[in-house]
């Protein structure tokens, strides 16, 4: 099971294992906000509720200024594996302005694309095809980007804390 870690200002900063969360709580570095009593963590002589959301006692400064490097995996994650043209499942990426015409490898020029649309489009622009992008490609927002797996695992206790981010 996984545990959401909130900074002292209640912004989500990471997702850790429930055991790591319990170590932070028992070490006095965090307090439990949400716990699952039905599935406790057991040791030789103690039993603890399984933490689902914890709050750090001291504020941890997170550098947000660094730009995320462009990668195939990152583009697919940013676009939730949805094609930028037809909204089908995407497992490839496409240069909106083709590389053969000077298009760059940048967040603003890359979109997730299904294999069918990628093959049909080839080295043409969406305007030449009569297509339009469903979403304007942009660099991912740094606030949520560092919180890996938050978009996939939004359990009920986490939902209220993730929406505030």
117-142 tens-digit pLDDT: 999 999 999 999 999 999 899 988 66
| Percent of the residues in the chain that have a pLDDT greater than 90, as a whole number | 50
155 assigned to some structural domain: yes
Say how far apart CA 22 and CA 28 lie, in whole Å. 10
pLDDT for 31 beyond 90: yes
- Are 77 and 98 contained in the same domain? yes
pLDDT for 29 beyond 60: yes
149 assigned to some structural domain: yes
40 assigned to some structural domain: yes
| Residues of the domain holding 10 | 2-63+144-163
137 assigned to some structural domain: no
- Are 52 and 85 contained in the same domain? no
136 assigned to some structural domain: no
- Are 120 and 96 contained in the same domain? yes
Mean pLDDT of 51-76: 84
152 assigned to some structural domain: yes
Say how far apart CA 74 and CA 85 lie, in whole Å. 18
What's the token pair of residue 98?
A: 């083709």
CATH number, domain of 104, equals: 1.10.30.50
Mean pLDDT of 61-69: 69
Sheet holding 30-42, edge to edge: 12-17, 2-6, 47-56, 30-42
- Are 97 and 123 contained in the same domain? yes
- Are 76 and 55 contained in the same domain? no
pLDDT for 148 beyond 60: no
Number of domains in the chain: 2
139 assigned to some structural domain: no
- Are 44 and 83 contained in the same domain? no
- Are 8 and 59 contained in the same domain? yes
135 assigned to some structural domain: no
34: how many CB neighbours lie within 10 A of its CB? Answer: 19
- Are 150 and 114 contained in the same domain? no
Say how far apart CA 123 and CA 113 lie, in whole Å. 14
What is the pLDDT, as a whole number, of residue 88? 95
């Amino acid at each position: 099971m996984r545990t959401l870690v909130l900074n002292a200002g209640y912004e989500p900063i990471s997702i850790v294992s429930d055991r790591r969360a319990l170590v932070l709580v028992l070490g006095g570095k965090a307090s439990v906000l949400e716990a699952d009593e039905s599935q406790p963590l057991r040791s030789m002589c103690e039993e603890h509720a399984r933490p689902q959301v914890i709050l750090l006692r001291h504020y941890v400064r997170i550098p947000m200024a660094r730009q995320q490097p462009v990668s195939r995996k990152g583009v697919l994650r940013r676009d939730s594996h949805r094609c930028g043209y037809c909204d089908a499942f995407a497992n490839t990426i496409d240069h909106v302005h083709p590389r053969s015409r000077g298009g760059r490898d940048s967040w603003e020029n890359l979109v997730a694309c299904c294999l069918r649309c990628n093959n049909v489009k080839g080295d043409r622009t969406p305007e030449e095809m009569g297509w339009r992008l469903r979403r304007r490609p942009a660099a991912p927002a740094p606030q949520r980007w560092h919180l890996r797996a938050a978009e996939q695992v939004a359990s009920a206790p986490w939902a209220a804390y993730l929406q505030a981010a």
